[in-house]
Amino acid sequence: MKILIQDGLPFVTAVLIYRGKQLILENMLLDTGSASTILSTDQVQKVGLIPSPEDPLHEIRGVGGVEIVFSRKVDCLSVGEFAVEHFEVEIGAMEYGIAIGDCRLQAAALMVNARRLGSVQS
């Protein structure tokens, strides 16, 4: 797994699998302050992950303001060699990018030996 440091923030590439379709998500912020993983509607619609009338909407708040999202379980979300199956993500407009914030993925990603990270400064 490579972590790219941009403006002091860690970014990774993740792979999302939803209903058997795979999507590579580049430049995902590894957000240690976020309680959940938030994905851009524009990105995930490529694999058919779109809102349905049955999806409840949630309001989330953060440093960037308020976002209206819906939740959905995906088959798998992986970062490097670490994967979490049947993983719940939130999907919203996300005009500022995409963020991995769930503690399970963060813990897995951060347990990697620092020498193996391949961290790159930009």
| CATH number where 37 lies | 2.40.70.10
Number of domains in the chain: 1
Average of pLDDT values for 9-37?
87
Q: Distance between CA atoms of 59 and 39, rounded to whole angstroms? A: 14
Residue 103 reports pLDDT greater than 60: no
Chain-wide mean pLDDT for the chain? 79
> Across-strand partners of 65?
62
| Mean per-residue pLDDT, 55-82 | 87
Domain containing residue 107: 4-121
User: Is the pLDDT confidence value at 115 over 50?
Assistant: no
Is 102 a residue whose pLDDT tops 60?
no
Specify the pLDDT at position 31. Answer: 78
User: Please, which residues bridge with residue 73 across strands?
Assistant: 88
